[in-house]
A and B are shown apart, each in its own frame.
With several copies, the nearest count.
Chain A
């Protein structure tokens, strides 16, 4: 992230370096994902109560957590944009919101798939699920407001403020299992995780999944930031060509 937010010194070589880094990252991500798949399906123990569906756990949890990270980056980059007013910050904020939305969507999907066998219903109006859904709405609104603003400049500012205030929902999602009676499992990661909530082997595989998913997350984010850079360049060229 530091490289993206840094100064544009030696622009061309810097950009080429970044492109190479993205290629490498793609490669590493692919390898990690493959190993992760192997671990999840071959190494992880089958759950005594839930059976094979429980393996979704190793996908569902990292993806949920990383969507939080996406929105955190979005809020921080939003603050950065409001202070600095450089497109660079906005690019990061926009990209992380998009990646975050993809990740919550996946969290919802994996959750729904998981819920069907264990709760006997696709969906429950239940705090964790409801607040996660709301999180999805907030960042969909983030992406909508960008387009609906009268000028692109306003779109950037407005989405930044929505991203900042929207982040308030993330801790609510996290703590929802505690605040309300929830049938969703309690936290296994983060400040409120209970000691020894998981078997050691499960915890280890979960950590590996987390790393693999983080690699994927980072790759997607960098790729999207780069793409936004190209889009911005294009509209700038168009503006310069437009003599009034």
Chain B
């Protein structure tokens, strides 16, 4: 990431959510989640299948409406008209958000225009390079393998140089090399003062990356600890 980080100097912490609640019909998924992620921090969110990780991330990204609670990105509220806050967020979820019949480059060019990036060409080459997809730049997304599509989705998420990254299981489906590249990217991310919140099921990967490790269970943040950066993986922490 040679790009100049666009960390806003005003406002509050990178990510702030208070009292987030979400029910689906008769099932309370989130029962009052409070969390704050500061600048320069990589927070990893653990939790069993169905714990509500995706729901939480989508609420933070403004894709799903919470039943109660507030969410702020860099101190700015995320709501329907929150264009400013949305520009600060990069999101990659379970779905790739790519168009099968556009090429890799066309997909990125589309999102670049949506985010109002000027002279997008160079930036697109840059992120394609980071996703090691340069040689597939002019191939349709349909013809990429599953992992390649996930890498392109990642490239799409960082394309507009967001200050805050929200990633839902970013390492799943990636080969060992790509996981390493992603780790490097996140390291740069933190050192340049930006922030990321990601979920993963891999204790090994997650703990290696995390400045903070959160666990979501029973609709609440159950534990919130800072693992030793260079220490060994502690799978016991997961329970």
Residues of A whose CB lies within 8 Å of any CB of B are 150-153, 235, 238-239, 242-244
Residues of B within 8 A of A153 (CB): 65, 67
Q: Contact check, B142 vs A235: say whether CB atoms are below 8 A apart.
A: no
Given contacts A150-B142, A244-B28, contact A239 B219 (CB under 8 A): no
Tell whether, in the assembled complex, residue A239 and residue B28 are in contact, meaning their CB atoms are under 8 Å apart: yes
Say whether A244 contacts B142, CB under 8 Å.
no
Q: Which residues of B contact A239 (CB under 8 A)?
A: 23, 25-28
Q: Is the CB of B24 within 8 A of A151?
A: yes
When the two chains form their complex, are residues A235 and B26 in contact, meaning their CB atoms are under 8 A apart? yes
Flag if A152 contacts B27 (CB, 8 Å). Answer: no
CB-based contact A242/B24 at 8 Å: no
Per-position binary interface string of chain B over residues 214-239, scored 1 when its CB falls under 8 Å from any chain A CB and 0 otherwise: 00001100000000000000000000
Instruction: For residue B33, give the distance in angstroms from its CB to the closest CB of chain A.
Output: 15
A238 near B26 with CB under 8 A, answer: yes
**Chain A: CB-nearest residue to B50:** A244
Q: Nearest Cβ in chain B — how far from A71, in angstroms? A: 26
A151: B residues at CB distance < 8 A? 24-25
Task: Let me know if A242 and B142 touch, CB within 8 A.
Answer: no
Beyond A151-B25, A244-B27, A244-B28, 9 additional contacts (C-beta under 8 Å) are A150-B142, A152-B25, A238-B26, A239-B25, A239-B26, A239-B27, A239-B28, A242-B26, A242-B28
Q: Give the contacts of B178-233 with A (CB-CB under 8 A).
A: 218-219
B residues 18-55 in Cβ contact with A at 8 Å: 23-29
**For chain B residues 40-86, which have a beta carbon within 8 Å of chain A?**
65, 67
Please tell me if the beta carbons of A244 and B24 are within 8 angstroms of each other in the complex: no
Chain A residues with Cβ under 8 A from B25's Cβ?
151-152, 239
Distance in angstroms from A92 CB to nearest chain B CB is 20
With most chain B CB atoms within 10 A of its CB, the pick from A150, A242, A244 is: A244
Within the assembled complex, what's the spacing in Å between the Cα atoms of A195 and B27? 59
- Chain B positions within 8 Å of A238 at CB level: 26
Residues on the B chain within 8 Å of A243, using CB: 28
Contact of A242 among B27, B67, B218 (CB under 8 A): B27
